Amino acid sequence: MNEPLPNPDLDKTTRRKRWGFRIGAIILGLLVVVGLELVCRFMGIGEPSLIDDPYVGFAEVTPLFEQRGDFYQIAPARLKFFADESFPINKPKDQFRIFVLGGSTVQGRPYSLETAFGTWLQLGLQAEHPDRSWDVVQCGGLSYASYRLVPILEECLNYKPDLIVICTGHNEFLEDRSYAHLKPKTTSDRLVMNLSANSHLFHLVRQAIHSPDSETQSTDKQNLKGEVDAILDYNDSLTAYHRDDDWRQHIVEHFGFNIRRMIDLCRKADVPLVLVRPPANLADSPPFKSDFSASLPHNITNELKERLNIARENYRDNLSASIDELEIIVHRDPRFALAWYELGQCYLSRKRNTEAKQAFLKARDEDICPLRIISELEQTLLRISEQEHVPLIDAYTTLEEKSRSGILDSQWLADHVHPTVPGHQMIATEIQRRMSDMNLCDFIEESAERQQMWEAHLQSLDDYYFLKGQETLNSLRGWAAGRADGPPAANRFPHRVSNRKLPPINEFEHSE
């Protein structure tokens, strides 16, 4: 019996059909996954930012407030980081309750709550609406970063708030955090990580598979202490700061996650939210730690150090020569923060304010010890606010526009980040104006009643209040310069202490 001759055309058709079925099955599977993802998004389930923080955890989370009689009051164990604050357990029917969350700026440092923008906001609202009760509860934790504000927000949403205000961004680099568990080993791992990070369906399945306890145990993410363990609380702490771009990028990503998470928490609770971009001192705050790029050869760093000395010798008599030397330095090493700052000062002396501002921004962003919000964090905050249609108070721009040179300096900021009393009043005014835009209150641009109430409150504060504030300011400057009285930083953070010897690290550390 003769075997049928092979038919090449038939074989090709069969192969095409097989591949067609395979591709069709893959496409169908993808369509099902995409469809389920869209359903999850539409129904608001599996929200990634409402899932347990994948970046860090906490060894313990204790309530900020506890019941005392008819009031909730800051728990005594938390008073090391928070100023004493309270509000009634039974909310009056006519009361509008606002919680303000953030770091030491919210607490009013270097002073305290009496001159913080939350207090000026409450007084302003009372002036415009004397027939209504207004209560602004200020939850500003010293050195508190965005990830520590999330549990505070979750708690405060249980206390019947009418508005949440969040001012954060300066403290993201204060604690030593490891993101080693987030580093993908391969490109495919990174792709899966990026997709799963934003997938509602992925997080819904993860919730179904893992209980909260098993989820916590199954991850190797770092668990932080219950309260802040700031690097700067240790002696000689600037030695623990070195240039680490991977760490910096993870911190920026973590910040964005926390902002989105807090937005989603407020939306789920149906509570309006206002974000605040915090101001930072550019012109009167040198970088706290500078160093040359590690990739530069020894002879080049020596040359640049010599050029810096020449620039300084000419500041008084030949500013043009100083500018020339500093421009050479920042061109050869754009990451040397101190040269950018001193170049900004030279530009400012020559009334080249636009160039001065850009130089000061570079100095801030290249600071190896970033105690001021950096550009990547600002851009993240502004972008998320715009994408999520969340109102944002740009305190940075508001104060900058009122500055003498158009650059933020000590006119509005008492130190590197904390506003002066008039600065706090300006921020409060902007929040009340935005609340008016949200139909939450009225606002009168030039309100005599508000000014009178503010002046009466200011006069009620005794001299000791401001003297104590000045003492706190001096302590803050020493703390920011790495001169805390704690144990040596090298013992607590040996993995973070740089071994780089040229140039000496402390040669370019800023000390006020």
Q: What was the pLDDT predicted at 213?
A: 46
pLDDT at 187 (0 to 100): 54
Residue 309 lies in a domain: yes
What CATH number does the domain containing 349 carry?
1.25.40.10
Q: What is the pLDDT of residue 496?
A: 73
The answer to whether position 373 is within a domain reads no
DSSP strands (E only) in 403-448: none
What pLDDT, on a 0 to 100 scale, did the predictor assign at position 315?
95
pLDDT (0 to 100) of residue 511: 44
Predicted local distance difference test score (pLDDT) of residue 33: 66
What type of residue is 17?
K
Residue 186 lies in a domain: no
369 closest CA partner among 277, 168, 232, 494:
232
List the one residue out of 303, 340, 236, 291 whose CA is nearest residue 505.
291
Q: Specify the amino acid at residue 264.
A: D
pTM recorded for the entire structure: 0.84
Strands 65-68 and 71-74: antiparallel
Give, for all 512 residues of the chain, the pLDDT tens digit. 555 555 565 566 666 767 667 777 777 766 776 676 667 656 656 555 455 677 888 888 899 999 999 999 999 999 999 999 999 999 999 999 999 999 999 999 999 999 999 999 999 999 999 999 999 999 999 999 999 999 999 999 999 999 999 999 999 999 998 676 555 445 554 454 445 555 555 555 545 554 444 444 445 678 888 899 999 999 888 999 999 999 999 999 999 999 999 999 999 999 999 999 999 999 999 999 999 999 999 999 999 999 999 999 999 999 999 999 999 999 999 999 999 999 999 999 999 999 999 999 999 999 999 999 999 999 999 999 999 999 999 999 999 999 989 999 999 999 999 999 999 999 999 999 999 999 999 999 888 999 999 999 999 999 999 999 999 999 988 888 888 777 887 777 777 766 554 344 345 555 44
At residue 212, the pLDDT reads 45
Domain extent for 321:
298-365
- Whether residue 330 lies inside any domain: the answer is yes
How far is it, in rounded angstroms, from Cα 191 to Cα 196? 9
The burial of 270, by beta-carbon neighbours within 10 Å (0-12 exposed, 13-18 middle, 19 or more buried), is given as: exposed
What pLDDT does 217 receive?
A: 41
In a domain, 75, yes or no: no
In this structure, is residue 333 part of a structural domain? yes
Question: Residue 193 has what pLDDT?
Answer: 46
Does any domain span residue 305? yes
State how far the Cα of 125 lies from the Cα of 133, in Å rounded to an integer. Answer: 9
Host H or E run for residue 423: helix 421-437
Half-sphere exposure (CA, 13 Å, Cβ side) for 498? 23
Kind of pairing between the strands at 56-58 and 222-224: parallel
**Domain count along the chain:** 1
pLDDT value of position 499: 54
Residue 43, pLDDT score: 63
Does residue 391 sit within a domain? no
Task: Pick the closest to residue 343 from 367, 312, 374 (CA basis).
Answer: 312
Pick the closest to residue 329 from 317, 319, 338 (CA basis).
Answer: 338
